[in-house]
Structure 1
Amino acid sequence: MTFRTLLTVTGLNHGEGDLKLAADLCEQIDAHLSVLVVAIAPPLPVGEYAAVVSDTWSKERYDDLKRLKKRTAAVSDFIVGRALSADIANAYPEQGSADEAIGRRARYADITVIGPEMLAGEALKNKVIEGALFSSGKPVLLVPGKARATLKPKRVLVAWDARLESSRAVRESLDMLKGADEVRLVMVDPIEGEHYHGAEPGADAAVYLARHGVKVTVDRLPSSNHSVADVLRQHAVDVAAELMVMGAYGHSRLRERIFGGVTKSMLEDQSLPVLMAR
């Protein structure tokens, strides 16, 4: 799809790095930038000491709201300085509803861009990723530190496993794939058969992409006792890919958290920008 609105989320303690990254991407494709400034409210005190700490809790919330207002003003100044088409909003959700609040905002954007500053955090990072992926129906672009971010990549690796999530990731990135010089459709240990990758793994997906004018090559790779994520990362290096496109959470979030999975591994260690959708 065509990305006309990009969302980026920033916290109280973040700098301008992620904002600049998102703004640069908007200028690259002439898109609108939407910024959400988020602070997560402290939990309500409970138990026998609740009355004692309630004043401290009230002051903490008051201070947070002052900082949220100040941070929103700073973001506004940054946007004015860039002369971008942009909008700014803020949110002060409770811990348990933060991902839903972020997801609601992400529904009004085409993609959520998550830069190195956000990825270096933990609590807010998880809320942004889960909110954007599970509560918006839109993709996310994860950009690790030192990686070159672009929405006009020349070489793209598509991690294909024939699941619904992979299909959605391809659909969401179709305009970028059409503009690329080279797209590698990569499968690791593909299984032949009607309920898996088909009689010729990757052929159906490649034909679909070719009909859209995508210059696609199919790569079938053995894992050779390595994890799927490691095989994908190494192949991305080998083919000098500028972007990886993949489906996210083919298994449940709980299963991925307990047993691990490709999505979990990619979220923990990105070597290049990754577009995820589900």
Structure 2
Amino acid sequence: MLFKTLLAVVGSDGAEADIARAIDLASRLDAHLSVLVVDLAVPPGIGDYPVGVVWLDERVADMQALNTAADRVQILCEASGLPFDLSRYYTERAFLADNVFQRALYSDLVIVGDKTGADARLLTEIVDGAVFEAQRPLLLLPKNHTPALPVKTVLVAWNSRAEAGRAVREAIDILTNAESVHVVLVDPDASYHHNGGEPGAEVAAFLDRHGVKVTIDQLPSGGRPVEDVLRAHAVEIGADLIVMGAYGHSRLRERIFGGVTHALLETTPVPVLLAR
């Protein structure tokens, strides 16, 4: 595998569970584990100027919880015998994406467990810093799921957009070593300026040249949301991993993700590798 430096971003809540899975993955990849333990600072309430004592007490309590979580994470990392480094940040939301960006630049893969991923505020900033800013792939691990190595069955969500192409390139080592790769197109547009005359044929040929055992699945949505079709098909084919591109809007407003990306980040039956 080409992933030699993993960045695990964990929140104060559930840090031990999330880091345990990151340690397991780093051990199996024989990789260096870089750990970022984070929490978002409590903003002062409207009209809390001068700042009240209650707000300050909340911040102190949060910082103590963060340090306690980080200390426990460090103990687990030391016990694992893995090479690792650890940083901790109690920061304003406006700065968290940049904190993640600075660390993700020097990693091959960013890992987020289900405990951290359950906090929508944290997940938004982590994806922003890692995927959009540092342009590093992010692996989201749902509860009780850590990908087998090598990954046996992969579902690639394909729509002929640049983001999907980047995700495939980032995952090419995984795809090459997989037993089967299903490139999935939902309600594909067969016009040449979208997917070509035969939707999926060109990406299949590209992957075949890399020795990937690829199958093209063209699926009708039947009026269902695309994310529901992808989830169901992942379960049907026994996928160990979903690979997909990340889609977002302008930085001039709070970033949200394209509907399918956002929905799969909220609920996914298997790990998702996200890239842009």
Q: Once the 2 structures are TM-superposed, how far is the Cα of residue 20 of structure 1 from its aligned partner? A: 0.9
8 Å CA contact retained: 2:15, 2:73: no
Distance of aligned partners of 1:212 and 1:94 in 2 relative to their CA distance in 1, 3 Å threshold: same
Shift of 1:34: 0.8
Contact kept in structure 2, 1:244 and 1:274, CA below 8 Å: yes
Q: Residue in 2 aligned with 1:229?
A: 227
Of the candidates 116, 122, 126, which is equivalent to residue 128 of structure 1? 126
Point out where structure 2 has 5 or more consecutive residues left out of the alignment: none
Name the amino acid aligned to 1:159. A
Partner of 2:238: 240
Q: How does 1:2-17 map to 2 (within 5 A)?
A: 2-17=2-17
For residues 109 and 100 of structure 1, do their structure 2 counterparts lie closer, same or farther at Cα, with a shift above 3 Å needed? same
- TM-score, normalization: structure 2? 0.91
Displacement of 1:41 in angstroms is: 1.9
The aligned residue for residue 192 of structure 2 is 194
Tell me the residue number matched to 2:144.
146
Identity %, equivalent residues = 44
Gaps of 5+ in 1: none
| 8 A contact 2:15–2:116 mirrored in 1 | no
The count of aligned residue pairs is 275
Cα distance in 1 for residues equivalent to 2:12 and 2:254: 32
Q: Could you list the per-position Cα deviations for residues 6-34 of structure 1 after superposition, in whole angstroms to 9, with x for gaps in the alignment?
A: 11112222241111111111111111111
Whole-Å separation in 2 of the counterparts to 1:151 and 1:77: 26
In structure 1, the residue matched to 2:104 is 106
C-alpha distance after superposition, 1:65-102 (max 9, x if no partner): 34333332221111111111111111122122212212
Q: Aligned in 2, Cα 1:66/1:230: closer, same or farther, shift over 3 Å? A: closer
Aligned to 2:35: 35
- SS of the residue corresponding to residue 39 of structure 1 reads strand
SS in 2 for 1:16: helix
TM-score by length of 1: 0.90
- Match of 2:97, as an amino acid? D
Bigger drift between 217-226 and 62-71 goes to 62-71
Structure 1 runs of 4+ aligned residues shifted over 6 Å read 253-256
Code of the residue aligned with 2:202 in structure 1: it is D
CA distance 1:39–1:166, change in 2 (3 Å): same
